[in-house]
Amino acid sequence: MNEHHPSRFHGIWALTKRELKKWLKEPIILLMAILQPVLWMGLFGKAMNIGNMFSSSSLSLPSLVPIPGSSLIPPQLGDASGYIYVNGSYLSNAFANLGPTIMQGIFGVADYFSYMAIGMISFIVMFTTMFSGMSIVWDRRLGFLNKVLSTPVSRGTIIFSKVLNASLRAIFQATIILILAVIFGLQVSSTFTVVSILGLYAAVFLLSVGLSSVFLAVALRSTRWETQMAIVNLINLPLMFASNTFFPISQMPDWIQAIARVNPISYLTDANRQLTVLPLDASSLMFDFAFLGVFAAVFSVIGIALSWRYLTK
Amino acid sequence: MSEEVIMTEELTKVFNKHLTAVDHVNFSVKQGEIFGFLGPNGAGKTTTINMLITILKPTEGKASVLGFDIAKQNDDVRNVIGVVPQEYTADEDLTGLENILLCADLYGIPRQISKERATDLLKLVELTDFKDKKVQTYSGGMRRRLELACGLINRPKVLFLDEPTLGLDVQTRTATWDYIRKLKKEFGMTLFMTTHYLEEADSLCDRIAIIDHGKIVVVGAPEELKHSLGGDIITLSIKDDPDVTEVISSVENVKDVKKENGSYRITAQIGEVTAPLIIEALREKGYTVTKLMLTEPTLNEVYLKYTGRSMRDTEESRETFRAQRMTMIRARGG
């Protein structure tokens, strides 16, 4: 007889530790996980030099720029054809001053890299959690799941440990991105403090819990990892681009805006940006956290409820 | 505690409303015995074991392990049983020791106790020297032993073994039997195992149940079942193939004579004495025996008698299993 009276949650840490160990023991996968955001930040954040588009270098003006005089008041100032001529370099200068204002207006930050680097955190969190469903499919195929099911570990624990594992990994990866972003020239706002980092972790944790619960619930009865791959491939693109991860929602057509406004990724990105690169707006930050909290609570409860229902056939 | 460690009453499992995998099965396993479920692949062995270890819910009927109902008191059942599954379930990326400790954690065993037990168990299954090696590097036999050790970490009263030697070569299989015997002796456990190897059932099990198409066709000790056939089997052929059933039947100790495909299949007691007598009787009548074979009954004959099919026909499934496993390993890039 097993003389111990394990608590309801005794297996959580054991199962989470197993997955973290597997992950840390695979240095190549770990390296790839770090390299991927570096590449993305390098290519997306630096190559898509949106800030530069709004600078004078994107204009090549003649020395005298004709402007229809009728658009000006009073019109009689122009020449016989009705045009007035402005010195090109003046216009260039005027535009160079306008550029940052446009950037500030659209993205809220002066440089696109800072905007995008924080979006990268959402991107990596999304990818990490999406694949959490895969591990349960493998556990089922290799018989590990059955072995765990034959022990007194609570059924919900099995799912919860996977959620926890995905969340811890997401936080780890978010940290790496943040460090890399600072190295590459992230410009933080004046309201940024150490506490902001904790806030960012909390937001990442909430989204990870919600998203990985969704994907685990989908994977619960699946025996084919191909199905999981197909689902992940299908929805990662819309989930990522119908959000403010790489581009502001306000500039999108209405129908995409409608999707982006219910997309939890948008709320994570917004919360993280407010905590780091944007001036902090307490009420909208609260709303972001409330949305993420409800998302995490609802889907983790659904995931755990489904695991009670479906892990025993 | 009652002598019956496992009891089933009309235990039934129907998948997808029409596929009856286990069909109103009744049996009981006594304290301290090795009870074997013998049958070909797809007979319902694994489904039965999965119900007993509480990972499948019965569709109908009930079963208890050490008095705990498998459906209603499943956590109590899980605490007192050990499971050695058909697959190699140990995590390949972890070491042998880490795997055992993980199993211990799943039972909520405090670390200082589990460390001690792990050391003992690793010694018992002779894996001490490999405990810090990744399971990836283990051979089939070593993995099987590791599974055994994991199944014993909670000091179970009943150990369930699902096809414990599936896919192992003959030497490793015999060695695994020795471990199982040793475990039984050392811990005084009750063992419930499934197998489709006749030799395994014969050599390991105190009692066996032959299961076919989800139904138990017969239960008994292997010796008893073999004896129930009525004796040894003598197969003989006679020159020109005349009908000599009468002559053979008149010989003492002959129980049964069947003519099939030009030869006679005779069931007789003390075959080695009866066979010369049959030859003698036939020669007196002027018949010449061209071929004679004497076989002691094996479980294959028992199986043949109760199911009408030969168990050997299902042997190739082992190769199929191996092929599947190899594909899986390749799929994982290991």
Domain boundaries, chain B: 4-223, 230-296
Q: Nearest residue of A to residue B66 by CA position? A: A1
How is chain A split among helix, strand and coil, in percent rounded to 5?
Answer: 75, 5, 25
Contact across the interface for B81 and A18, Cβ inside 8 Å: no
Whether the predicted pLDDT of B313 surpasses 70? no
A18 vs B contacts (CB less than 8 Å)? 91, 94, 102
Contact list in B for residue A155 (CB cut-off 8 A) is none
Q: Is B108 in contact with A11 (Cβ distance < 8 A)?
A: yes
pLDDT of residue A206: 97
**SS3 of B97-139:** HHHHHHHHHHCCCCHHHHHHHHHHHHHHCCCHHHCCCEHHHCC
**Contact residues on chain A for B50, CB-CB shorter than 8 A:** 146
pLDDT of B237 over the 70 cut: yes
Are B103 and A151 an interchain contact pair (Cβ–Cβ within 8 Å)? yes
CA distance A137 to chain B (A): 13
- Per the DSSP assignment, residues forming a β-bridge with B263 are B260
**B94/A22 Cβ within 8 A:** yes
Determine the pLDDT at residue A2.
45
Q: Which among B235, B145, B159 is positioned nearest to B194, based on CA atoms?
A: B159
Q: B86 and A147 in contact by Cβ < 8 A?
A: no
Residue A226: per-residue pLDDT: 83
pLDDT band, very low/low/confident/very high, at A13 (cuts 50, 70, 90): confident
Task: Using alpha carbons, list the distances in angstroms from residue B39 to B15, B143, B199, B212.
Answer: 19, 24, 12, 6
Instruction: Output B323 or A300, whichever has higher pLDDT.
Output: A300
Q: Is the pLDDT of residue A3 over 80?
A: no
Euclidean distance between CA atoms A272 and A200, whole angstroms:
6
A18–B154: do the CB atoms touch at under 8 Å? no
Name the residue type at position A298.
V
Chain A nearest CA to B202, separation (Å): 27
Nearest CA in chain A to B53: A150
Check B328 against A141: CB less than 8 A apart. yes
Answer whether B65's CB lies under 8 Å from B71's CB: no
Confidence of residue A72 (pLDDT cuts 50, 70, 90): low
In this predicted structure, what is the pLDDT of residue B324? 61
- CA B211-B217-B220 angle, to 5 degrees, is 90
Residues of chain B with Cβ-Cβ distance to A136 below 8 Å are none
- Asked if B328 lies within 8 A of A11 by C-beta distance, the reply is no
Taking an 8 Å cut-off on Cβ atoms, the answer to whether B328 and A147 are in contact is: no
Q: What is the mean pLDDT of chain B?
A: 86
Give the CB-side neighbour count of residue A244, counting CA atoms within 13 A. 24
Q: Closest partner residue to A4 among B57, B110, B157, by Cβ?
A: B110
CATH class of B230-296: alpha beta
List the domain boundaries for chain A: 10-48+108-310, 56-102
Rounded to whole angstroms, how far apart are CA atoms B46 and A226?
26
When CB atoms are compared, the residue of A25, A142, A149 closest to B55 is A149
Residue closest to A11 by CA, chosen among A19, A190, A3: A19
Give the CATH architecture of domain B4-223.
Answer: 3-Layer(aba) Sandwich (3.40)
CB contact under 8 A, B94 and A152: no
Work out the widest C-alpha separation in chain B, in whole angstroms: 81
Interchain contact, B93 vs A26, CB within 8 Å? yes
More confident of the two residues B137 and A227: B137
Q: Is the pLDDT of residue A247 over 90?
A: no
State residue A1's pLDDT score.
42
Question: What is the pLDDT at residue B326?
Answer: 58
How far away is chain B from the Cα of A1, in angstroms, using its nearest Cα? 5
Q: What integer pLDDT is reported at residue B99 of this predicted model?
A: 94
Find residue B195's DSSP bridge partners: B38
DSSP assignments along B235-268, one per residue? EEEETT----HHHHHTSTTEEEEEEETTEEEEEE
Shortest Cα distance, chain B CAs vs residue A157, angstroms:
10
A296, A207 contact by CB (below 8 A): yes
Question: By CA distance, what is B106's nearest residue in A?
Answer: A11
Q: Which of A20-24, B191-195, B323-327 shows the highest mean pLDDT? A: B191-195
Residue B82 clears pLDDT 90, i.e. is over it: yes
B334 has a pLDDT exceeding 50: no
- Whether residue A164 is predicted with pLDDT greater than 70 in this model: the reply is yes
User: What's the rounded mean pLDDT across residues A250-262?
Assistant: 91
The predicted structure's pLDDT at residue A209: 96
* Mean per-residue pLDDT of chain A: 84
For this complex, say whether ipTM is above 0.95. no
Distances in Å between the alpha carbon of A223 and those of A165, A277, B211?
A: 21, 43, 28
Chain A residues in contact with B56 by the CB 8 A cut-off are 312-313
Find the closest chain B residue to A154 by CA distance: B75
Q: In A, what residues contact B, Cβ < 8 A?
A: 1-2, 4-7, 10-11, 13-15, 18, 21-22, 25-26, 141-144, 146-153, 312-313
Smallest Cβ–Cβ distance between A143 and the set B87, B103, B157 belongs to B87
> What is the sign of the dihedral through the CA atoms of B19, B23, B28 and B34?
negative
What's the DSSP call for residue B6?
E
Q: Which of A41-50, B105-114, B229-238 is the most confident on average? A: B105-114
Question: What would the pLDDT profile of A96-147 be if each residue is shown by its tens digit?
Answer: 777 778 888 888 887 888 888 899 899 889 988 888 888 888 888 888 888 8
User: What is the rounded (10 degree) CA torsion for B1, B3, B6, B8?
Assistant: -110
Pair A161, A9: CB distance under 8 Å: no
Q: CA nearest A20: which of A165, A170, A201, A174?
A: A165
pLDDT single digits (tens) B243-259: 888 888 888 888 888 88
Identify the band that residue B312 occupies on the pLDDT scale cut at 50, 70 and 90. low
Distance CA B41, CA B248 (A): 39
Q: Is pLDDT above 70 for A6?
A: no
Tell me the C-alpha distance between A113 and A186, whole Å: 7
Residue B331: predicted pLDDT: 57
A53-67 average pLDDT score: 73
C-alpha–C-alpha distance, residues B126 and B115, integer Å:
16
Contact B300, B307 (CB under 8 A): no
Rounded distance, CA B24 to CA B216, Å? 9
Q: B187 vs chain A: nearest CA distance in angstroms?
A: 12
Amino acid identity at B324:
Q
Q: Work out the minimum CA distance from B306 to partner chain A, whole angstroms.
A: 32
